[in-house]
Chains A and B, each alone.
Chain A
Amino acid sequence: MARLTINGTVRDIDVDPNTPLLWVLREQAGLTGSKYGCGVAQCGACTVHIDGNPVRSCVLPVSALSAEQQITTIEGLSKDGSHPLQRAWLKLDVPQCGYCQSGMIMAAAGLLKKNPKPSDADIDAEITNICRCGTYNRVREAIKLAASGLPAKQST
């Protein structure tokens, strides 16, 4: 049994404590926005936040987490897709297949939290997620657009 706080809600989940957080989110909590891409912390498709820090949930057993820690998934990043990164992503039509994009956005959100105006080098260093469709340049542009402060409501 694990007690987890996911997107602000405390949940008791009946699960083997060795189960990686990714699979608890996907299979027990029903939150499939976080994706399985590699299972070995290589691709970042499974990125979620623990207390605001991006982590690769595919290698994090739930036994390592306490109920006090805040787990945020892509579903909890904003209520309605209005996080500045989500708006920037929409404006630039960043995704192709989209499979890596939850992880990309969560990694980017973690970056902006500690570094609101990242340089290209900061982005290179922090966004190490894999996108096989090749959206990197638009991901970079969208991070910068979000960092530059989007208008509260999009007007275009």
Chain B
Amino acid sequence: MSMATQVSRRSFLIGSASAIGGLSLGFHVPFAEAAAAKNAAEVNAWVVIQPDDQVIIRIARSEMGQGTLTGLAQLVAEELECDWAKVTTEYPTPGQNLARDRVWGNFSTGGSRGIRESHEYVRKGGATAREMLITAAANEWKVPPSECVAANSVITHQPSGRKVSFGKVATAAAKVTPPKEVTLKDPKNWKIAGKPLARLDTADKLTGKQIYGTDLKLPGMLNATVRACPYFGGKVKSFDASSVSKMPGVRKVMQIDDTTLAVVADTWWQAKTAMDALTIVWDEGPNTAVSSESIAEMLKGGLDAKDAFVQTTVGDAPGALTGAKKTISAVYAYPYQNHATMEPMNATARYTPQKCEVWVPTQNGEASLAAAAEAAGLPVQQCEVYKLHLGGGFGRRGNFQDYVRQSVLIAKQMPGTPIKMIWTREEDMLHGAYHPTTQCKLTAALDDDGNVTAMHMRISGQSILAAVRPEGMQGGKDPAVFQGLNLTGDEGHIGYTIPNLLIDHAMRNPPVPPGFWRGVNLNQNAFYLESFIEELAHAAGVDPLAFRRKLLKNHPKHLAALEAAAKGIGWDTPAPKGVGRGLAQIMGFGSYVAAAAEVSVTDGQMKIHRIVAATDAGHVVNPAQVERQVEGSFVYGLSAALFGECTMQGGRMVEDNFHTYQVMRMAEMPKVDTHIVPSGGFWGGVGEPTIAVAAPAVMNALFAATGKRIRTLPLKKQSLA
């Protein structure tokens, strides 16, 4: 069978799997019933098999483009020993997870954790199901299971050569007591995992068939849009519903909480048109004097403040710096940024006093369920969430469930009617969970031989955890601020060995809601550290690669990633005329990443010619998918570095759509070569770490090309002429 037909058949099956989820019917059919309708057997929580041998693999994490659906299915299928061509996937619902004692574990999809956090239990899920299938076949043949093997969805009794397919024994297998222990395969022997297999979810994205949250249609559904007070800390003072309530299609104009108004209409366009016409007076709240300038001043005050939270300390950096002959110091800054997912925030809710249901593209179905229950005022058991495909997530759709809350509050005012709420792009831009803003002062001492003898890295600025996850704080300190800068740890430790090192944080929290933005704090930390390391290399008169080699000697994995990127760009050969090269490396989200960039500047315009990236994520589940994530990371990271800034003025954000919040497009996109250099033995994340090396590699290359050091992002604010 040709690949095209295989894939399209598979996509048909994905389509039918979502029909099982009830999307096309409008209302949810519990998948136990749906499975029964197809005589499918749930062998265990992860694996459902139909009599025709189709395998449905359950995926708890959310697909938002990063490929986790395919990757996690590969891991289960690998252990299950099933025929990959017969695999489809489905999402269990958060309510089912709750009802079944969280059998599918954590639904949260963020921190590049989809695979690295769940690989073990999903593989065990596949292996357990395989053993149950083998036992069922052996029981039927009355032979010891140890004489049977499974491969490609077929169980073979080796001595006799008898064979039976999974579909024939699945029902019996479901009744077998699961083995207590299973042995997982050595990744060396993988046949499905580790291979660059085609994604399972492509075909419907090419024909308009894929249903996103904004596309959902339910019988009797109405449409809504909201407007929340754009001033942080402000609220609704008054509004005049009569100004729009007679407009075509308008069903209801409502206030849903202190800050937010909603219009419900027959169509979304009618709701939006009425909302635009609605007379609203805002109470602008206490922050109207806050601007980007005032925030920058506030952060500047933290750069030399006496009090700071200390995270990383070796030797006596302040002492060594005071006594040093040669010190170098620089101040860097990183702005607020919006996630700007391509699909604006949205959710659809139906509320009755007995039950609240929400259909939503979410990175964390369980957080959506909790938000729905709270907004509905119903026990969580009386609520349910159906996850839809995400038009981008990037961290906006995980922790923050404001849109779920709003959609339920709207639905609550019209019980029984499903209402789809979609934000305008403007709403999305003005009500972000913004990448936090920080500044950083770095001071280092160099000895006569160009060795870094001491370094103090003072970060000043906003804590995400203080605002959104206070339970993660440690005695007032936000440990996440130091992402990639810890001395030890599997999540991300600093590769440089410096005898006197101090990294601390003066927390300064402006009244702007911060959030987890793809790459999170690793982004600015790598920009600061990797730019400054090159400043030191230049001050020492040493080639930046050679300079880093010496500092990374105790951290071979960091160095190996850097060497791979440097080699790929041809670091040892001269750059083309007018072209500058720059490097960056960091460890974060459990992976070692590096980038090398080539840029030139003509008439004040920078062109990025080429990027070479290297990633060591330990084990690689789908190398083609890793390449796509790495390429995408440069688009996300460079959009931020070149253009990304949300400006505060008068207590609210200025940029409200893509004409003012520019992002990278085709013409700016460099060629990206990705080198995957897995060293094995650990499981690192892929979706985020590379973003952090994009900006410093390019800004270092820009310095090499022009001698201009960029210390404040985004680049668009700097003149290169």
Contact = CB atoms under 8 A, between A and B. Distances in A.
B342 A132 contact: yes
A52 interface: no
A42 B659 contact: yes
Interface string A35-56: 1111110110100000000000
B212 A96 contact: no
Contacts of B657: 38-40, 42
A153 to B, nearest CB: 7
B26 to A, nearest CB: 14
Interface in B28-68: 64-67
A156 B5 CA distance: 11
Contact of A81 (B207, B342, B391, B664): B207
Contacts of B635: 131-134, 136
Given A97-B392, A131-B635, A154 B667 contact: no
A33 B636 contact: no
Interface in A79-125: 80-81, 86-87, 89-91, 93-102, 105, 123-125
A148 interface: no
B717 interface: no
Q: For this complex, into which size category does the number of interface residues on chain B fall?
A: 35 or more
A9 interface: no
B206 A155 contact: no
Chain A binding surface SS class: loop
B3 A156 contact: yes
B662 to A, nearest CB: 9
Interface string B193-225: 000001101111111111110110100000100
Nearest to B634: A134
A27 B203 contact: no
B663 A132 contact: yes
Contacts, number: 188
Nearest to A22: B269
Nearest to B4: A154
Contacts of B632: 96, 133-135
A75 B391 CA distance: 18
B720 interface: no
B672 interface: yes
Interface in B329-362: 340-344
Nearest to B64: A97
A28 B217 CA distance: 12
Interface in B268-312: 268-270
A40 B658 contact: yes
A124 B667 contact: yes
Contact of A36 (B214, B340, B634, B672): B214
Contacts of B341: 97, 99, 132
Interface string B1-26: 01110011000000000000000000
Contacts of B636: 132-134
20 contacts: A16-B270, A28-B267, A36-B214, A37-B342, A40-B425, A81-B206, A95-B202, A96-B66, A97-B390, A98-B210, A99-B212, A128-B667, A129-B665, A131-B635, A132-B341, A133-B392, A134-B636, A135-B632, A136-B665, A153-B2
Interface of B: 2-4, 7-8, 64-67, 198-199, 201-212, 214-215, 217, 223, 248, 267-270, 340-344, 389-394, 422, 424-425, 624, 628, 631-636, 639, 657-659, 663-667, 669, 671-672
User: What 9 pairs across the A-B complex have the smallest Cβ distances?
Assistant: A33-B208, A134-B635, A97-B65, A99-B391, A134-B632, A98-B205, A96-B65, A32-B215, A124-B667
